[in-house]
Structure 1
């Protein structure tokens, strides 16, 4: 089955880093309950609450008090003098004359926050009531305890699906708070577009500070600066930092208030110049505001005195098409590569490293990565590294000779002892077109691994008769194919260990953990290998007890969020077989066997 879905604890000692968030969970594993039964459709938006008479007070006295207060208010509500008017800023004038909007959505069109998300269950999302009966402390700890980077590409894909699903908030948590927690985690994962979409599924005037900040971060990362304008207009006072003031000024320009925008930015520029002498942020804001075509003064962007790149500088410069010096980009962190992958305003040559990272981490699908290389081929043919790789990729698809296609694939993989994982993602569909025969048996392992990066398990299954028991390709098929054609024997695992060249037979350890989690070895075989390899599969922690219980009650959403906590790290060296076993087992039992298989196969391919 081709795993094409819509939306596409640090291990070992590193687990201690996350002990604090998980320790906050007051409930024990038994508190994890099955998903709630489907709730009735959300009711229509409630009518505005009427003013109630306080209990124990006669209505007449209340009316008299109201009249007295109104009279007192009227007498003290005088018009300001001319001097006071001149001293007021534009926000104070708007407040005085009632020009500041409070909301712009008719009651009939307001959206309930009982369920928030962009993937309904019939669109590939998880059941809406999955978390409705769960203690909010568990869900909050899982979402805040996951820092964003997962060791597994398929784990990232599964977690993104859960976070983007249209879900009801857990018991004791508001829908807005739940949306904010999910949007923040999506931003940390590099899924800025999904984070923006989650925020936009909630009416702006009910955003809390968490959701507002997550939305602004997503807008800047996606180059959608003016997307923040509804918030700046409706919630003007919720922040007072320089970035917020620049955003408000930009939005004023696009709302037709050129004079306000120009004056505010000039004041900010003078203030920043006096504080630290670095006005690059305000200059970028002036340039962006000037793009509204409202007569803003032209500004020149110079990077000579800039020694640090920030999300604000990168997002505005990319949106404006302003070139950023290499010295700033070269020292930038992974955040900027993730942002660059999806910014169409950037040249392809500046996006390619970000695209490769996005493919490794699960942000980009194989098809999305191929699209970028196809654009590179159309734009430059065989000029430059991107054009050369694009030409090789084309040959890997269309050359009539299968041997030539395999040669092109090998060239894309490079000469390194370990094939870069993003290259295997790039060649997934080309690998699926290679005929399964003995002539290509030497390349069977990496070809199968490449196919499984895109979930092409049916195509990989054609190689069952080609690989030998105990080979690398055999191990990938043993955990990656659907169905269970029988128990994997202890002898087959022993053959695999004989071919395992990894330090401490780490790959064999991952194979046993994956097979045990998928239920593809007997209890006796599992226990024997558990003792032989000292895997500690039976050792229980609070995290393992929680994810096991969530899997037992088939709560896929909670399993996936707890999986995110247990999969944190920069590479597979941070994942223990014991954690892999609990994750694969819980995913399988919760109904996500396909994801469990792909994660088990990825563990072998990347170890």
Structure 2
């Protein structure tokens, strides 16, 4: 995939100040950011008086760097779990009276460990603890964005951009670009702790359906440094990925940070896998027999089945779904991890969350994973190669049986048949007969489309072939069709914005020809083409202004959001551009995007060094608007 991004981004230059809520005009002009963005930053608290140095007796390793527990949440933080575990034993250490035998017998294992000072405070030796000055999973030399990109930006702006993005973006390539920024190894803005910054990013990745990436961000921070926000995001990611036991270090070190039913069941599961089978069995039995409505029977049964695999002896618990009216992430995650069959009536009513989770759960049947993977491909969670791999598993398991098997067989033909005409026919079969090809089908066939020779014989298929190639960023392969397509057609429009190193500018006459063939409502597709060309600098200012008036696009109208993203582009801060792009691209489909927003996004991405992503987003807009 020829998607190299220009190196040497100048990050962190310039302070962007946002004095009022950012406005969105994509169908709804109301602000989508949390309130308080325009509030002045609080004055810094006076520095506390230095504490006396600890005596050698109270500090086992005087040379170790202490880890400070971040308990603050900042704006919009979670109320639960901010405080660390109590440092004292029973009675807070205020009394020297020893507990009686009866009192000791009444204590559970955790309370006894706390009393005797045996409870661990961290799971990594002090010398091996990691700093939170930079958190992420993509270094700059691995494709991540510059580490100091956000270090000098106002924390209120960064927090509002991340927290205000609800998750779903209209653009597949916009999703990919935002994920890259969130996964990069970045320093937090000044005044924001590394744990809070990691928690904000992990929460947004969860909302985007990027559960594995959210889990990886959380795992890049030592558990004893997690605050409530990061802990909640980590548990959500563990459940969504079926990695239930991944939360056990948190259950050991910060067991009291939550007290809801699911957390108590999870702690019992972790207790079982820690070797305390009897205690876990008793706890789960009490929960199952409890009259507290908080404990639903199906939830406890799933926990008992899961804990039974650790040796409880009750792994034969029967899971009954008859009285279950809805799925929850807990039920779905545990059932999927156990390989338990979930009734179709529940799956039929399940929301997008469950499809996104299913895409990467290997314990689920391939038929369920395919449905989830198709959504994941449309949204940018799955790559083309990942989707092809999954269909290959379907073909290996069942051949051409069933709808997915038939698609897999056609995909195989599209790759290996010696006759290009037969390969194109197979691609047409996968795409279907509808006026608009499902986007996941275009993602699935990207590499097979790149194998079709550019020829007048297949000129009628050039549009869908080019659209399919560009879903995977195969711009050089798409460029082979430049001499085949007619100027002003759909295929020409995608190439006009999608190809690198475009020769010369695009004339107003070519855009006029495109408009003549544009059958979209209100000539939306032409508006997106003009916005993309203008943002990429491929039409003159005169041509831009002429079409801006002709189509009433309002490209030059300024808002605080457009001013912020434009300034971030000018100073070449790709990470901040990506975060602000997420704010402006929210929605379920391209009807939520305006040409004006697209223009500012494409322009800022190009200026900040993300021209490849800008071109792919512009081509996607022309194809899908």
After TM superposition, the score normalised by the length of structure 1 is 0.90
| Equivalent residue in structure 1 for 2:618, among 594, 600, 606 | 600
**Alignment of 1:122 onto 2:141:** yes
Q: Which residue of 2 aligns with 1:61?
A: none
Question: Per residue, is there more helix in 1 or in 2?
Answer: 1
Q: Which residue of 2 aligns with 1:42?
A: none
| Equivalent residue in structure 2 for 1:244, among 254, 259, 263 | 263
Going from structure 1 to structure 2, the CA distance change for 1:277 and 1:136 (only over 3 Å counts) comes to closer
Going from structure 1 to structure 2, the CA distance change for 1:358 and 1:2 (only over 3 Å counts) comes to same
Q: Which residue of 2 aligns with 1:92?
A: 111
The two structures, once aligned, show a CA RMSD in angstroms of 2.0
Q: Which residue of 2 aligns with 1:334?
A: 352
Q: Which residue of 2 aligns with 1:34?
A: none
2-structure distance, mates of 1:259, 1:223: 24
Q: Which residue of 2 aligns with 1:289?
A: 307
The offset of 1:385, in angstroms, is 1.0
Give CA deviations for 1:36-66 in whole Å, capped at 9, x if unaligned. Answer: xxxxxxxxx963499xxxxxxxxxxxxxxxx
Give CA deviations for 1:546-586 in whole Å, capped at 9, x if unaligned. Answer: 00000000000000000000000000000000000000000
The offset of 1:375, in angstroms, is 0.4
8 Å Cα contact 2:33-2:160 kept in structure 1:
no
| Equivalent residue in structure 2 for 1:171, among 173, 190, 196 | 190
Q: Which residue of 2 aligns with 1:142?
A: 161
Give CA deviations for 1:275-303 in whole Å, capped at 9, x if unaligned. Answer: 37831101100100001124346311000
The offset of 1:242, in angstroms, is 0.7
What is the correspondence of 1:202-601 to structure 2 with a 5 Å cutoff?
A: 202-271=221-290, 273-275=291-293, 278-296=296-314, 298-601=316-619
2-structure distance, mates of 1:156, 1:186: 10
| Corresponding pairs, count | 566
Give CA deviations for 1:461-506 in whole Å, capped at 9, x if unaligned. Answer: 0000000110000000000000131110001100100111111111
Q: Is there any run of 5+ residues in structure 2 with no aligned partner, and where?
A: 6-22, 42-62, 69-91
| 2:97 partner SS | coil
The offset of 1:21, in angstroms, is 4.9
2-structure distance, mates of 1:182, 1:75: 40
Going from structure 1 to structure 2, the CA distance change for 1:500 and 1:587 (only over 3 Å counts) comes to same
Q: Which residue of 2 aligns with 1:18?
A: 32
2-structure distance, mates of 1:368, 1:25: 44
1-structure distance, mates of 2:3, 2:308: 46
1-structure distance, mates of 2:617, 2:256: 46
Going from structure 1 to structure 2, the CA distance change for 1:260 and 1:385 (only over 3 Å counts) comes to same
8 Å Cα contact 1:25-1:138 kept in structure 2:
no
What is the correspondence of 1:190-201 to structure 2 with a 5 Å cutoff?
A: 190-201=209-220
Going from structure 1 to structure 2, the CA distance change for 1:168 and 1:480 (only over 3 Å counts) comes to same
| 1:292 partner SS | helix
The offset of 1:97, in angstroms, is 2.1
The offset of 1:274, in angstroms, is 4.8
Going from structure 1 to structure 2, the CA distance change for 1:75 and 1:150 (only over 3 Å counts) comes to closer
The offset of 1:75, in angstroms, is 9.9
8 Å Cα contact 1:135-1:170 kept in structure 2:
yes
* Of 100-109 and 564-573, the range deviating more from structure 2: 100-109
The offset of 1:268, in angstroms, is 1.2
8 Å Cα contact 1:25-1:141 kept in structure 2:
no
2-structure distance, mates of 1:553, 1:486: 26
Going from structure 1 to structure 2, the CA distance change for 1:74 and 1:397 (only over 3 Å counts) comes to closer
1-structure distance, mates of 2:337, 2:606: 43
**Alignment of 1:182 onto 2:196:** no
Give CA deviations for 1:138-188 in whole Å, capped at 9, x if unaligned. Answer: 000000000000000000000000000000001110111000000000000
8 Å Cα contact 1:195-1:215 kept in structure 2:
yes
8 Å Cα contact 1:10-1:569 kept in structure 2:
no
After TM superposition, the score normalised by the length of structure 2 is 0.88
* Of 578-587 and 88-97, the range deviating more from structure 2: 88-97
| 2:310 partner SS | coil
8 Å Cα contact 1:22-1:145 kept in structure 2:
no
Q: Which residue of 2 aligns with 1:64?
A: none
1-structure distance, mates of 2:193, 2:293: 41
